[in-house]
A = this chain, B = another copy of it.
Amino acid sequence: MKRTLGELAEVIQGELRGPADLVLEGIAPIDRATPRDITFIARSKYARLAAQSQAAAFIVSPEQADLNRPRIVVPNPYLAYAQIAAVFAPPRRRWPGVSNLACLGREVELGQEVSIAPLVFIGDRVHLGDRVTLMPGCVVGDDVRIGADSVLYPQVTVLERCTLGERVIIHSGTVVGSDGFGFVPGKEGHFKIPQLGVAVIEDDVEIGANCTIDRGALGETRIGRGTKMDNLVHVAHNVIVGENSILVAQVGISGSVKLGKGVVIGGQAGLVGHIEVGDGVQITAQAGVTSSIKPGQIVGGSPALPYREAVRAYTMLARLPEIHQRLKQAEQKIKELEDRLEKEPSS
């Protein structure tokens, strides 16, 4: 695929400073770009690499606007990189219509230009919006609805009655709508609570590979619009994740947790059940959150503390043996002082 520098400047709505007809064939990091690539300087510390770079052109911020190379100036070079990467991205593999090696149930409703790969299973009464792509090995249960332009990578499972919005992307191996983990303890063992609810994935959500999103016990589990989840994330039954949140890899969220909008959860963090996490909360990696968090707070550690306290506490933890040693010395000195005063005549 080829694009001119002028065309790319239009895509990213940037200021062109260089030959509009310069032809580019890809985008690459500054240290690996070839004379056929455009590159970008997202942080000023990388600017010094520009002189050695073989890149044919640069995306730069206003601070680097004077760079003596063909360039496009934009306020946010990192965003521009993402936009140009989308231009050069190979088109996603699609199948023309429904493969005759796919297996469709009854009363399936298909939008226009759906793409269903071989070895896909689709249950009864499934509704697929326009341009939905189901890659090989996906399983879609009865009564599932998937909105327009959504993509399921190979081997995704969406179980019965769950719904996906538009432009949803789900990566391989992820399961949407598995049973929530609910049992009533009894004398004869654990009695299963049937999980009658559903999982709802709103528009523009992206879910990584090998995640598990359980269905609600009675109501629903809901992933809010625009939220992005990394790989191997666990979302339990009846969790509500607010819009535009970020869940990094291996996060685990227990049942009935309610996350606000724009929440960011670092990798391997875990949340106990039935708590509420306010809008804009940030939870650092490996944190263990045991109670509700007010909007805008940052927490870390396990059990989680306000971030600054956590940093101070865990930094000090490394000094705990030294603190213990100093305490022993202080105790010794106190003893000596006491002994000394004992010997002196009291006034």
Which residues of A does B touch, CB under 8 Å? 27-29, 32, 76, 78-79, 81-83, 85-86, 88-90, 93, 101, 103, 117-119, 121, 123, 135-137, 139, 141-142, 153-155, 157, 159-160, 169, 171-173, 175, 178-179, 181-184, 186, 189-194, 196, 204, 206, 208-212, 214, 217-219, 225-226, 228, 230-232, 234, 236, 243-244, 246, 248-250, 252, 254, 267-268, 270, 272, 285-286, 288, 301-303, 305, 309, 312-314, 316-321, 323-324, 326-327, 330-331, 333-334, 337-338, 340-341, 343-347
CA distance A154 to B230 in the complex (A): 22
Residues A327 and B323 in contact, CB atoms below 8 Å apart: yes
Residues B173 and A173 in contact, CB atoms below 8 Å apart: yes
- With contacts A121-B119, A193-B82, A334-B330 known, is A316 near B309, CB below 8 A? no
A337 to chain B: closest CB distance in Å?
A: 6
Which residues does chain B contribute within 8 Å of A173, judged by CB atoms? 157, 173, 175, 210, 212
A11 to chain B: closest CB distance in Å?
A: 13
Which residues does chain B contribute within 8 Å of A117, judged by CB atoms? 121
Which residues does chain B contribute within 8 Å of A83, judged by CB atoms? 191
Residues A136 and B286 in contact, CB atoms below 8 Å apart: no
Residues A285 and B268 in contact, CB atoms below 8 Å apart: no
- With contacts A194-B86, A286-B270 known, is A337 near B330, CB below 8 A? no
Residues A178 and B189 in contact, CB atoms below 8 Å apart: no
- With contacts A154-B121, A341-B337 known, is A89 near B181, CB below 8 A? no
Which residues does chain B contribute within 8 Å of A135, judged by CB atoms? 139
Residues A219 and B29 in contact, CB atoms below 8 Å apart: yes
Known interface pairs A82-B192, A137-B137, A268-B270; 20 further A-B residue pairs with C-beta atoms within 8 A, sorted by A's residue number: A29-B219, A82-B184, A85-B218, A93-B141, A139-B154, A153-B157, A169-B179, A173-B173, A175-B231, A209-B214, A214-B231, A231-B234, A234-B267, A248-B254, A270-B285, A305-B318, A313-B317, A316-B321, A327-B330, A333-B338
CA distance A54 to B333 in the complex (A): 65
A227 to chain B: closest CB distance in Å?
A: 8
CA distance A272 to B228 in the complex (A): 18
Which residues does chain B contribute within 8 Å of A327, judged by CB atoms? 323, 326-327, 330
A117 to chain B: closest CB distance in Å?
A: 7
- With contacts A82-B184, A226-B189, A320-B320 known, is A208 near B178, CB below 8 A? yes
Partner of A121, one of B137, B142, B192: B137
Residues B326 and A331 in contact, CB atoms below 8 Å apart: yes
For A316, give the chain B residue with the smallest CB separation.
B320
Residues B270 and A267 in contact, CB atoms below 8 Å apart: yes
Residues B249 and A234 in contact, CB atoms below 8 Å apart: yes
Residues A218 and B341 in contact, CB atoms below 8 Å apart: no
Which residues does chain B contribute within 8 Å of A272, judged by CB atoms? 285
A34 to chain B: closest CB distance in Å?
A: 12
Which residues does chain B contribute within 8 Å of A268, judged by CB atoms? 252, 268, 270, 288
Residues A218 and B330 in contact, CB atoms below 8 Å apart: no
Across the A-B interface, give the 4 residue pairs with the lowest CB-CB distance, nearest first. Answer: A121-B136, A178-B209, A212-B231, A139-B154
